[in-house]
A and B are shown apart, each in its own frame.
Chain A
Amino acid sequence: MSEPLLEIKNATKVYGGTGFFSKGRTTVALQDFNLTIDAKPATITTIAGESGSGKTTLANLVLGFIKITDGQVRYKGVDVNTMSSGQLMEYRREVQAVFQDPYAVYNPFYRVKHIFDMVLKNFKLAKTKEEGRALIEDALNVVGMRGEEVLEKYPHQLSGGQRQRMMVARAYMLKPRLIVADEPVSMVDASLRAMILDIMLRLRDEYNISFLYITHDLSTAYQIGDNIHLLYQGAVAERGNTVKVIESPKHPYVQLLINSIPVPDPAVKWGGEEVTTLDDEQMRANIASGCRFYGRCPHRMDRCLKKAPPLYSVGEAGHEAACYLYTPETEAVR
Chain B
Amino acid sequence: MTVQMERKQAAQHVGANDREITLEVKNLKVYYATPTGAVRAVDDVSFHVYKGEILGLVGESGCGKTTTAMAILRMVQPPGRIVGGNVLLDGIDLVGLNEAALREVRWNTLALIPQGAMNSLNPVMRIHTQIAEAIQTHEGRQPKDKLKQRILELLTMVGLPSRIYDMYPHELSGGMKQRVCIAMAIVLHPSLIIADEPTSALDVVVQRVVGQTLLDVKERMNVSMILIGHDMGLQAQLVDRIAVMYAGHMVEVSPVESIFAEPLHPYTQLLIESIPSIKERKPLKLTEGITHDLRNPPPGCIFQERCPKVMDVCRADRPWLRPIKPEHYVACHLYE
Contacts and interface: CB of A to CB of B under 8 A. Distances in A.
B173 A278 contact: yes
Contacts of A217: 276
Interface in B158-202: 164, 167, 170-176, 202
Contact of A192 (B175, B207, B287): B287
Interface string A129-163: 00000000000000000000000000000011100
Interface in A242-270: 243, 246, 256-258, 260-267, 269-270
Interface residues on A, range: 35 or more
Contacts of A229: none
Nearest to A256: B205
Contacts of B1: none
Given A189-B61, A189-B230, A260-B204, A279 B274 contact: no
Given A262-B231, A262-B236, A280 B257 contact: no
Most buried by A among B61, B204, B211, B285: B204
A189 B237 contact: no
B132 interface: no
Contact of B203 (A50, A197, A262): A50
A201 B275 CA distance: 18
B271 A191 contact: yes
A222 interface: yes
Interface of A is mostly: helix
Interface residues of B, number: 49
B231 A191 contact: no
A218 B276 CA distance: 9
8 contacts: A50-B206, A190-B232, A191-B289, A218-B278, A260-B205, A262-B231, A262-B236, A281-B171
Contacts of B288: 195
Contacts of A89: none
Given A198-B286, A218-B278, A277 B205 contact: yes
Given A190-B275, A223-B276, A280-B173, A195 B260 contact: no
A263 B234 CA distance: 7
Interface string B252-275: 000011001000000000111011
A190 B236 contact: no
A50 B237 CA distance: 20
A194 interface: yes
A27 interface: no
A283 B205 CA distance: 15
A260 B231 CA distance: 14
Contacts of A220: 276
A277 B236 contact: no
A189 B206 contact: no
Nearest to B201: A51
A194 B236 contact: no
B60 interface: yes
Given A223-B284, A224-B284, 8 more contacts: A50-B204, A51-B202, A192-B60, A195-B286, A195-B287, A216-B204, A223-B277, A281-B171
